Each structure stands twice: as structure tokens, then as C-alpha cells.
């Protein structure tokens, strides 16, 4: 049974779809500077917040109950009027994860320039500095740290999945493990550190057994680009969301367990529904529920015992990132907290 063995408390992270930033071309230094200046000057639609995010939040994690996010403006901490920009970016960042070294909050971040470079770096909160290492010829869309070992996985816009290590001093240069035929939007380790999964805009989910080093298992049940994924806390199941508006649950050996129907189809002036693509996923509560965020701003609760889904809220922007640690944090054009008591 899917709910069997799940822990009652966990921290989850996921990332929403923004492949429009990937163009595959090259920019001159002047053009890159003008583009960066333009991005940082973009207005923010939120009310009363102290951070100009400069665009959508592309990744969001929690450390000791505090949300950290990346957006075109850089790295921010907090929500609403309590948010602050802790690092203003000169490099376009797409992803971040907590690096388990030392007592000071330390993040590993990934980004780069489309068609030019994929860069990773370590951000130490006490010094507010990042040292970048170029590891790819295209930007890093997502990354994740192995919770049981000193490994970091990176998903690249050129379809490559990289795997590298880290020490107390910082990151080690990664090497390629396998490849999708389109940009990789999400990578995730299982809690036991045995499996590494990746979601691609080729519509595929690939699962690598790191113990056997066999070829990745290919899951092809989605009918559109896959944007987000996460393992259950007991490492037995993998949950993925895609632009086909579906969330699917597979066992780690590839068996399709459950498929949630298209979320919040909207009929507008015609016979065909406008599908809400699933951009972000996380777990909340005890017993746990799955929370999904969509391209049309829908926030949904999914039961772990049936295919039941229920709408929770609607934002006026795509929900590109979700995280939970005693509170639910929602990333769109800003970072906001959501009243967990609304989730039954």
C-alpha cells in the first residue's frame, strides 16, 4: 500500500517548469549584461513584500522552518514583508538544495547561461558569498543532495544528468551518468540514497539504481513534458507531475501504481479543456497528503490512499515551487506561506 511506512514529518522540494529560459543560443557579454539588468528591473506583482523577485521563483527549500528561494533576483529568505534578498545574482540561478556540512546554513546552487555554461556553487549564509564552478556547456535546471552520502546530482538543459561529490571545503567536479533527449527539469535522490530519478521535457522519467549501476529504468507513462518528481519517504515509490495535467505514482521497479486525473481542467469558449500542467509537488501533514501546484495557479490536495483530488486555492500566477516544514510554502512570483489547517 502506498502510504505504508511513510514518515510523518519531512522536508520536500520541487521545481516548476520554466524551459522558456532555455534558448540554446549564445549571448555576447554586452547582451548578457543588458539582459541581466532588464531581468533585475522587472516589477513584482506582489503586495507589500520587501523583495523584488524579478520573476518567478524557480526553486524553494526549507531549513529549520525557514524558506530559502531562488529567482532571477538571486537568493531570498523568508516570506511576504519578512522576506529579504540574501544574495543578489550575477548568474542566473534555477535551483538550490541544502548541503549537509557544518552548522551554518550552506546551500548548493545551480544555474548558468543558456547554451553557454552550467554553473554550480556553494553559498554560505554567514559570508553571503558564492564560489562558482563551471561543469556543463548548458545551464543547470535542478540539483539534489543525497541524504545518506556525499553526492550531488545535477540536471542540465542539454539533457545530461551529472553526479558529483562534496567535502567540507566544497563541491567536487561531477561527471555524466546518463542522458535524456531533452532538458532535465528535475532530479531527486531517494531517502535511502539508493535511487536517483530525473524528469525530462522528453516526457520521460528515468530511475537509476546506484547500487547496481545498471542502465536507468525508463518510465514513459506521461503524455507530455515531465516537470517535477519526488520519492516517498520510505523510498518505495516515485511521484511525478507533467504538463499533461497528471500526477503518476510508480514503484521504484517501474510498476504504475496510481494516476491522478487531470487537475482542474478549465473549459473556455470551446469543447476542449485547457489543461493545468503540474509544475511542483510536495508532501504535507500527518497522515501525509500530496500537494500539487499547476501552471494556472491551482493548488491541489491528492490523497495517498485513492485517486481523490481536491482544490485548495488558486493564485494568479503559476505555482513553480512548493516546500513543507511545519508550514506549506508556495513559490510563484513571490514566496508565501499557506495555512496548513486548510488541508484536510
CA distance 130 to 123: 5
Q: Please identify which residue in the block is written with the cell numbers 567536479.
A: 173
For residue 34, is pLDDT > 60?
no
Beta strands at 309-314 and 321-324: parallel, antiparallel or unpaired:
unpaired
Q: Which DSSP helix (H) or strand (E) runs through 239?
A: strand 237-242
CA angle, corner 213, sides to 209 and 217, nearest 5?
50
Task: Give a yes or no: residue 124 inside a domain.
Answer: yes
- Tell me, what's the pLDDT at 21? 32
pLDDT tens readout for residues 111-154: 999 999 999 999 887 777 888 899 999 999 999 999 888 899 99
Is residue 200 domain-resident?
Answer: yes
Percentage of the chain beyond pLDDT 90 is 59
pLDDT at 105: 75
Counted domains in the chain:
1
Q: Which residues partner with 31 through β-bridges? A: none
Contact 61, 93 (CB under 8 A): no
Residue 7 lies in a domain: no
Q: Quick check: is 97 in a domain?
A: yes
Instruction: Decide if 163 is inside a domain.
Output: yes
DSSP string, 275-303: ---EEEEEEETTTTEEEEEETTSEEEEE-
Q: Identify whether 227 is part of a domain.
A: yes
The parent domain of residue 121 ranges over 12-342
Q: What is the CATH number of the domain that holds 225?
A: 2.130.10.10
pTM recorded for the entire structure = 0.82
What pLDDT, on the 0 to 100 scale, is given for residue 47? 36
Is 5 inside a domain boundary? no
pLDDT level of residue 266 (50, 70, 90 thresholds): low
Q: Give per-residue pLDDT as tens, 168-194.
A: 888 999 999 999 999 999 999 999 999
- On whether residue 337 sits in a domain, the answer given is yes
Amino acid at each position: 500500500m502506498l502510504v505504508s511506512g511513510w514518515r510523518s514529518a519531512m522536508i520536500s522540494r520541487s521545481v516548476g517548469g520554466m524551459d522558456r529560459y532555455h534558448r540554446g543560443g549564445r549571448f555576447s557579454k554586452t547582451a548578457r549584461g543588458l539582459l541581466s539588468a532588464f531581468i533585475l528591473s522587472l516589477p513584482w506583482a506582489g503586495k507589500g513584500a520587501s523583495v523584488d523577485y524579478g520573476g518567478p521563483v524557480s526553486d524553494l527549500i526549507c531549513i529549520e522552518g525557514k524558506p530559502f528561494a531562488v529567482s532571477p533576483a538571486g537568493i531570498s529568505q523568508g516570506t511576504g514583508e519578512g522576506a529579504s534578498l540574501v544574495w543578489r545574482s550575477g548568474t542566473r540561478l534555477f535551483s538550490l538544495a541544502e548541503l549537509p556540512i557544518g552548522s551554518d546554513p550552506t546551500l548548493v546552487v545551480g544555474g548558468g547561461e543558456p547554451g553557454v555554461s552550467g554553473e554550480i556553487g556553494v553559498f554560505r549564509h554567514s559570508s553571503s558569498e558564492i564560489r562558482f564552478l563551471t561543469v556543463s556547456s548548458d545551464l543547470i535546471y535542478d540539483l539534489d543532495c543525497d541524504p545518506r552520502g556525499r553526492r550531488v546530482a545535477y540536471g542540465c538543459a542539454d539533457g545530461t544528468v551529472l553526479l558529483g561529490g562534496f567535502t567540507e571545503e566544497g563541491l567536487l567536479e561531477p561527471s555524466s551518468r546518463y542522458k535524456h533527449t531533452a532538458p532535465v527539469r528535475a532530479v531527486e535522490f531517494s531517502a535511502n540514497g539508493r535511487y536517483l530519478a530525473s524528469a525530462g521535457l522528453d516526457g520521460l522519467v528515468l530511475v537509476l539504481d546506484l547500487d547496481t549501476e545498471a542502465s536507468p529504468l525508463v518510465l514513459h507513462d506521461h503524455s507530455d513534458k515531465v516537470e517535477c518528481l519526488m520519492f516517498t519517504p520510505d523510498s518505495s515509490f516515485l511521484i511525478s507531475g507533467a504538463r499533461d495535467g497528471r500526477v503518476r505514482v510508480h514503484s521504484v521497479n517501474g510498476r504504475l501504481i496510481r494516476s491522478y486525473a487531470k487537475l482542474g481542467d478549465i473549459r473556455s469558449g470551446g469543447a476542449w479543456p485547457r489543461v493545468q500542467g503540474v509544475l511542483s509537488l510536495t508532501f504535507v501533514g500527518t497522515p501525509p497528503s500530496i500537494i500539487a501546484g499547476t501552471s494556472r495557479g491551482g493548488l491541489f490536495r491528492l490523497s495517498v490512499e485513492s485517486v481523490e483530488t481536491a482544490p485548495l486555492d488558486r493564485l494568479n500566477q503559476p505555482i513553480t515551487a512548493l516546500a513543507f516544514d511545519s508550514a506549506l510554502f508556495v513559490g510563484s512570483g513571490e514566496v508565501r506561506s499557506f495555512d496548513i489547517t486548510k488541508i484536510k
